[in-house]
Chains A and B, each alone.
Chain A
């Protein structure tokens, strides 16, 4: 494997994209009413993403990553700030935004090809055309030959690839992924990361990846937004200057290791706060019982 030069981590990397952004998240604040009072899940978060850019958002559990995902995807309302896609303000699910969820989300009553053709069926495409397009995306995620199989007959990684193909078949301008490989083992996760890189390379797909996995974030992203534990704020933005095209082999390089170490040093403090908070919450709950 060729040696990968280590680029200095730019702690003050811009939060904004250098080209005209396709996605702009401006000063988002999202609060929830809880039995313990008002909880600020996302606190004045801003970021912008240029077309074709791959941005990772990383933070400990409970830092509001998934809330941010739902806000950008238009699944949550009642927040302060604005989200704009190609200049248009998002007020609900936007047709230019495709979402891949953390949980298994294939339709168990549809086979692979019908799952992938789902958004095309909704768009009213003729049957022949939607199957032809769906077949292209099934092939893109490496599932050709499995078109007639049902999700119950596939592995977890294959099911997640079906979800990915289904979202990509709608040809969104922006792809949002919320910890899509969280339920998978490490090896499958790395290999699916390769698949994502290959697809991103091929489609030049603008992507926002929400994750708590540092390796995954560094392997895939151009920029990584590190978030603080509750309330979720942007702690730091790290430019990942590893060369592209990348593959999972890059994880063994020295530069990769340095990025991982640097991001972990940022995250460690936040993750510890999260852990302490979780433990005190459990103690409080035990006391009340």
Chain B
């Protein structure tokens, strides 16, 4: 019965949207009856009402595009260098033993605190923001690529060897597709880290897209506008997530 319901094409998204609407309605109710302070959390109806103002007056679309472009650029860098780094660590045992702990430590470090250094190196520009996103997202992609490649089942490697595959064929035909699901886990994590840092640095250096807008609206104490802008950040995150999911399905149709 539960499985039949879960396999229904429309029910899961309908239930998801329904739950979100119910949650928003509950927050609205709690604010209206005074259980949540309306000067800390704005009413959802006010946030919805703020959307047209934020879109028209605050040029949210151009800011959205700027943040999305920064996120996209950082994603490309994270993917290229992260996957390549993971492959290097897999290929060279010495390099792996020498650096794996450091990479893991970097993954857990609050790298956003390095933004003054990046400002000095790259200036107060979109490049600083992209590089901060790249730095924050790199370590999880390296670690997950390494994990995926190392976890490739021995028998699959032996199948490749039994067919006399060259090292390059062994990598592209067996190791890489076998590691793809784990690599994509790393990519999703890395891209989330990158996006958090991109918006965070925009906020901190008051430059660029949605982060700067959130900063400005918060300083004006426009709570409804601030939350409306945050909704656009969530939209960027959803776009990145959908893109990675499509890419994964294209590269590896069925697990």
Bitwise interface map of B from 176 to 206 toward A, beta carbon under 8 Å scored 1, else 0: 0110100000000000000000000000000
Q: Are B254 and A105 in contact (CB under 8 A)?
A: no
Chain B residues numbered 102-118 whose CB sits less than 8 Å from any CB in chain A: none
Per-residue CB contact flags for chain B residues 3-39 toward chain A (1 = under 8 Å, else 0) read 0000000000000000000000000000000000000
Interface class of chain A by DSSP: loop
CB of B53 within 8 A of chain A? no
Residue B93 interfacial (CB < 8 Å):
no
The interface stretch among A96-104, A199-207, A266-274 is A96-104
**Could you tell me the distance between the alpha carbons of A268 and B169 in the complex, rounded to whole angstroms?**
45
Complexed CA–CA distance, A122 and B172 (Å): 12
A105, A111, A122, A152: the one contacting B169 at CB < 8 Å is: A122
Separation of A267 and B146 alpha carbons in the complex (Å)? 44
- For B68-88 the 0/1 string (1 means CB < 8 A from A) is 000000000000000000000
Q: In the complex the two chains form, what is the Cα distance from A118 to B253 in whole Å?
A: 17
Q: Give the CA-CA distance A95 to B254 in the complex, in Å.
A: 30
A231 within 8 A of B: no
Chain A residues whose CB sits within 8 angstroms of the CB of B153 once the complex forms: 103
Quick check: B252 and A109 within 8 Å, CB to CB?
Answer: yes
B55 at the interface (CB under 8 A from A): no
A105 to B160, CA, bound (A): 10
CA–CA, A18 and B2, complex, Å = 63
A260: min CB distance to chain B, Å: 30
A148 CB, nearest partner CB in chain B, Å:
10
Number of A residues, CB within 8 Å of B:
25
Does A93 lie within 8 Å of B164, measured CB to CB?
Answer: yes
Q: Is the CB of A93 within 8 A of B162?
A: yes
Could you tell me the dominant secondary structure of chain B's interface residues? helix
Of A99, A119, A152, which is within 8 A of B255 by CB?
A152
Q: Are B165 and A101 in contact (CB-based, < 8 A)?
A: no
B156 at the interface (CB under 8 A from A): yes
Please tell me if the beta carbons of A122 and B162 are within 8 angstroms of each other in the complex.
no
A131 within 8 A of partner (CB):
no
Q: In the complex, which residues 70-117 of chain A have their Cβ closer than 8 Å to any Cβ of chain B?
A: 73-75, 92-93, 95, 97-99, 101, 103-105, 107-109, 111
Chain B residues lying within 8 Å of A119, measured Cβ to Cβ, are 163
Q: How far is the CA of A97 from the CA of B158 in the complex (A)?
A: 13
Contact present for B180 and A109 (CB under 8 Å): yes
Q: Which residue of B lies closest to A108 (CB)?
A: B255
- Known contacts A107-B177, A152-B254; A75 and B155 CB within 8 A of each other: no
A27 to chain B, nearest CB (A): 24
Extra contacts besides A105-B159, A111-B254 (14): CB < 8 Å: A73-B162, A93-B162, A93-B164, A101-B159, A103-B153, A103-B155, A105-B155, A107-B178, A109-B177, A122-B163, A122-B164, A150-B253, A152-B254, A167-B162
Q: Which 7 A-B pairs have the closest CB atoms?
A: A150-B254, A99-B162, A103-B155, A109-B177, A105-B155, A109-B252, A119-B163
13 contacting pairs across A/B (C-beta < 8 A)? A73-B162, A74-B162, A75-B161, A75-B162, A93-B162, A93-B163, A103-B155, A105-B156, A107-B178, A108-B254, A109-B253, A122-B173, A152-B254
Interface set of B (CB-CB < 8 Å, partner A):
153, 155-156, 158-159, 161-165, 169, 173-174, 177-178, 180, 252-255
A interface residues, Cβ below 8 angstroms from B: 73-75, 92-93, 95, 97-99, 101, 103-105, 107-109, 111, 118-119, 122, 150, 152-153, 167, 170
